[in-house]
Structure 1
């Protein structure tokens, strides 16, 4: 179940669990992850986003930089990610620091998006109040129907999350859940077994 390397390298264990979930998951968006940020009013904010991939031991997410999450991360880079994987009954909680990804990487992720998602990101200001949703939708549908290449808006990008703490939890029928906490200290991962 756990290879020797993964027991000392939490991101190897993360990759192993993620791959195992992808093989058996039947949910429509198996890459969904809950991103938590610190609000400008000091209340936590949480929402689901799409996890892209691991790049140099950092987790990549994308979205509008001028959305609430983007503004909150710009104000306070301390974030948390929570994965809940139904098929394998596993949870992973990650805390870390977020930094903006490069323009080139943002272009790559934007170009990989479905054209509808590209149009929505170009036309809409995510999370802002609207007084005419139908008009906005018409503009999005027109952009899609024009079938011209949509370039990434400057306010769309992503974040690379460098983890400092990762907790793995595997649910058991006995309720004696497996919990292992990794914390980075002086550049090295330290691991603790936690009580269920």
Structure 2
């Protein structure tokens, strides 16, 4: 079994059992602009063409960090099934047509926030943003909300994937999959 088949199987099982509001939440880690590691939670949109798709502002801190150095990691913790997945790979910007598709899938509130907010930028008074939100809400009452120019996404293509199942005995099942040059995944069992 390749790691994507196992990931998809585990993800389906987590979705069936999970009571979490966002079972697709995962921690994206990147290399900070100041040299320190940086991490934040994002929502996995889908696994497509052997890549993990995430979206957001391209001008946010994460977007700028990925632009500078595309080596990132994703970490999933699934409480319902007691599984952890760690992924290391390279992020590439998705096509604009794909970004438009994912933007259309967002809720109206999320679209408006993406349109009016400079994610991560400082602001002196939140009322300014709230007023901008109300204006946009009125403006787009019966209209499609346009995707901002600075909005898009990334396809993270793994070079390493570690899948771990927790066991009460503490003999956790850990398997490391590493991509070799021949596009072949090599699996190694790791000690708990």
What secondary structure sits across from 1:82 in the alignment?
Answer: strand
Separation of aligned partners in 2, 1:173 and 1:142: 54
TM (norm. structure 2) is: 0.96
Separation of aligned partners in 2, 1:111 and 1:131: 31
TM (norm. structure 1) is: 0.95
Measure how far apart 1:141 and its partner are.
2.8
What secondary structure sits across from 1:17 in the alignment?
Answer: helix
Partner in structure 2 of residue 124 of structure 1: 117
- Check if 1:185 corresponds to 2:187: no
Gaps of 5+ in 1: 1-5
Separation of aligned partners in 1, 2:41 and 2:53: 14
- Check if 1:134 corresponds to 2:127: yes
**1:170-193: CA deviation from partner (whole Å, max 9, x where unpaired):** 001111111000001112111100
Partner in structure 2 of residue 3 of structure 1: none
Partner in structure 2 of residue 83 of structure 1: 76
Q: Which 4+ residue blocks in structure 1 deviate beyond 2 angstroms? A: none
Measure how far apart 1:142 and its partner are.
2.8
Separation of aligned partners in 2, 1:178 and 1:116: 41
Measure how far apart 1:143 and its partner are.
1.5
- Superposition RMSD in Å: 0.8
